[in-house]
Amino acid sequence: MKNFVITVARGFGSGGRAIAAKLADELNIHSYDNRILTLASQYSGYPEHYFKEADETLNGSLITKQLQALPKRHSPTGELSRFTSDDRLFEYQKIIIEKLAASESCVIVGKCADYILKDYDNVVSIYVEAPRSYTLRRVMERMDDITVEEAHHLITKTDKYRADYYKYYTGGNYWTNPVNYDLTFNNARLGDDRCVKLVLECMKLKFGADFKEYMKSIGKDISLNFVIPAPGSFQSCPRARVPRRVPLSLTRRGYFISLNFQNTLSAHPPAHRTLFRSHPV
């Protein structure tokens, strides 16, 4: 494979950005978060003719150099303001994300990257969430001089901002929709490191020998220990067809394989949307 991309959507305080950073370290690639917005903001101030020609004038290597020159954000920040749209700025973000996906392996955090790259076959998209008790504790551990009440308010406002942002720029889709992603995680039950391992296992399954070869080329061990139970241990619903895309998610009792019905959704009631359940872990 030429290159691959991991997109990470996350609730505030869930640990999604830390998971993105660990994935980037594990795979020897870059993780992009706020730097995409910073670079897009710089581009959006250029004359209109430059904006119209951006798709031709910007190339992957130039964008990478410009992004690498920008400072990383090391501490969490939230959004207390209401979401206001900026179509021009988002168009630049979209161009940057598409150029990155075509030119280098990387992790992209937020920015509707899963939606922008939904038709790319070299992408794994994940969503990370956690209960309020977990996100509250994590935010307070990582932010100085913040009270419990302020942390609650910041989490609520930030998640509302992200939901409104996603809904606007995706034409009404909702941010927490599991169908948008290959994998969804409750990080309170898994932890950062196990989420990373599951993402790598998903990439091994999705990209096959190409990904294994890439891991060997960077001196990494691709042998992972996540095992899907044997067919006899599954409980199944009748008349079910296994679609092409099989995202994994964590629920109360353990690992579920949540199937994305593409052509059979109307043939079964909502209760049949989750077809197979493994034994609790």
Residues 91-118 pLDDT 10s = 888 988 998 898 889 999 999 999 999 9
Nearest to 5 by CA among 18, 24, 25, 21: 24
Distant-in-sequence contacts of 216-222, Cβ < 8 A, 24+ apart: 218/27, 218/28, 220/26, 220/27
Distant-in-sequence contacts of 175-179, Cβ < 8 A, 24+ apart: 175/9, 176/127, 176/129, 178/127, 178/247, 178/249, 178/258, 179/260
Q: What is the pLDDT of residue 134?
A: 96
21 close to 74: Cβ distance less than 8 angstroms: no
Q: What is the pLDDT of residue 232?
A: 44
Q: Tell me what the mean pLDDT of segment 134-147 comes to.
A: 90
What are the residue ranges of helices labelled H in the chain?
16-27, 34-44, 48-52, 54-57, 60-68, 87-103, 113-116, 132-142, 148-169, 187-190, 192-207, 209-217
Least confident of 25-39, 191-205, 219-233, 251-265: 251-265
Q: What is the pLDDT of residue 62?
A: 52
- Looking at the DSSP bridge assignments, the partners of residue 107 are 6, 31
Q: What is the pLDDT of residue 171?
A: 93
Q: What is the pLDDT of residue 211?
A: 92
Query: Each residue of 11-25: pLDDT tens digit?
Result: 999 999 999 999 999
Q: What is the pLDDT of residue 146?
A: 87
Look up the pTM and report it: 0.70
Tokens representing residue 202 in the block: 């998903």
Give me the torsion for CA of 60, 18, 151, 153, rounded to 10°: 40
